[in-house]
Amino acid sequence: MSRLHEASWLESTLIAVRWHSKNCKKDQVDEVVDTWYELLVDNRKNTCSNNKAAPTKTGDCAAVLCSVDGKLRFVSIHQLQDTLRREEQRQADQWRELKRLQDEKREEGERRRAAKRRQAAREQVERERAEREWAERERQEREEAERKQAEREEAEREKSEREQEERKQREKEEAETQRQKARARRERDNAAKAERERQAQARREQVELEWAASWSRYIRDWTNMARVDTSDLDENIKDSVPWPVKSGTWQDVSERNVLEFFRHAPDGVGDNPIKFRTLMRQQALRWHEDKLRQRFRKIAQDEECLSLATLVMRVINGLR
């Protein structure tokens, strides 16, 4: 067999393998290959025995054993090549369609993933917005709580200051009231004291006037007594004698009353020791028993009158 003829058989072999590998199952491929190999060997033997020359072109008489519609038959190379090209075109179209579908599926997946990413981004943005809003609400609520707390503290501070001011004002008013009461009490006390002093002064002045009147009467009575003749006085001599007591009557004669009478001597006498001693000497001469007997002749007949005169003389001697 020439090299060209062997190449034709090899080409037909490759085409057959390609055809069956694309269109048959594995067990069918094995069966077709075995049958084709047996026919090929027989055909080669016949060719060698007949000494026929190989064709000049591989496609003119080449044929391969193929499974067509489930049956094995020889098919020309050209027909098989056309069928193979159509099948390859179909498979290429199918592959492109598959690739397109895969691309679309991939793109759809990308779109879905992009949509998911966008959704996740939106959700993230929404979460961040919600977190910001929550944080803002928290801040506002915290600031509101702090503001209310500050307002309460300010109100409590103002209330405390107001109560303190009111307490100070009450204490001030109470102190002022107490001062006014104390001042009024002092004024009343001073007024009462002044009134008491005035009354006491009035009483003293009245007493001094009374004592001055008693002394004036006492001096006047003794002066008048020296001008008249006492020898004709009646027997009730006690009523005629000017006794040195405030009332001037003998019933009030006592050591205390006589002593008080002389201590209330007229102004300028009781406060002057010299004048007072002079007054007492004069009174001692007046109340001496001999002088009284000369002036009142009937006094010796009245023992009580003599006793009262002796008491007066004893007081005078004590003051001299």
Tally of domains in the chain: 2
Domain membership of residue 80 (yes or no) is: yes
β-partners of residue 67 are 72
- Among 100, 118, 140, which residue terminates a domain? 100
Chain centre distance of CA 71: 107
Distance CA 249, CA 90 (A): 181
Domain membership of residue 198 (yes or no) is: no
Distances (CA, A) of 88 to 93, 95, 107, 110, 119: 8, 10, 27, 31, 44
HSE-up (13 A, CA, CB side) for residue 90: 7
- For 270-308, b where at least 16 C-beta lie within 10 A, e where not — what string? eeeeeebeebbeebbebbeeeebeebbebbeebeebbeb
Distance CA 29, CA 22 (A): 10
Which residue range is the domain that position 301 belongs to?
228-319
Q: Which token pair is 165? A: 């001011």
Domain membership of residue 293 (yes or no) is: yes
Tens-place pLDDT, residues 200-244: 888 888 888 888 899 999 999 998 887 776 666 656 788 888 999
CB 72 within 8 A of CB 35: yes
User: Strand 71-76 relative to strand 63-68: parallel, antiparallel, unpaired?
Assistant: antiparallel
Chain centre distance of CA 46: 124
Domain membership of residue 167 (yes or no) is: no
Distance CA 180, CA 5 (A): 154
According to the model, what pLDDT value does residue 81 have? 78
Using CB atoms within 10 Å of the CB of residue 128, give its burial: 0 to 12 exposed, 13 to 18 middle, 19+ buried.
exposed
SS3 of 18-43: the string is HHHHHHCCHHHHHHHHHHHHHHHHHH
Note down pLDDT in tens along the chain; length 320 residues: 444 445 455 555 556 555 555 555 555 556 655 666 566 566 556 554 544 434 444 444 456 555 556 666 666 778 777 887 888 888 888 889 988 888 888 888 888 888 888 888 888 888 888 888 888 888 899 999 999 999 899 999 999 999 999 999 999 999 999 999 999 999 888 999 898 888 888 888 888 888 889 999 999 999 888 777 666 665 678 888 899 999 999 999 999 999 999 988 887 677 788 889 999 999 999 999 888 888 887 777 888 889 999 999 999 999 87
Q: Which of 104, 109, 132 is closest to 117 using CA atoms?
A: 109
Distances (CA, A) of 144 to 129, 137, 149, 308: 21, 10, 8, 110
Domain membership of residue 185 (yes or no) is: no
Q: Which of 93, 90, 63 is closest to 78 using CA atoms?
A: 63
Domain membership of residue 276 (yes or no) is: yes
- Among 49, 77, 100, which residue terminates a domain? 100
- Among 100, 115, 137, which residue terminates a domain? 100
Distance CA 59, CA 76 (A): 8
Signed CA dihedral, 269, 273, 279, 284: sign only: positive
Using CB atoms within 10 Å of the CB of residue 225, give its burial: 0 to 12 exposed, 13 to 18 middle, 19+ buried.
middle
Show Cβ contacts of residue 304 under 8 Å, excluding neighbours closer than 6 positions: 238
Domain membership of residue 131 (yes or no) is: no
Domain membership of residue 176 (yes or no) is: no
CB 68 within 8 A of CB 75: yes
- Terminal CA-to-CA distance of the chain, rounded, Å? 209
Q: Which token pair is 46? A: 């016949």
Question: What is the pTM (predicted TM-score) of this model?
Answer: 0.45
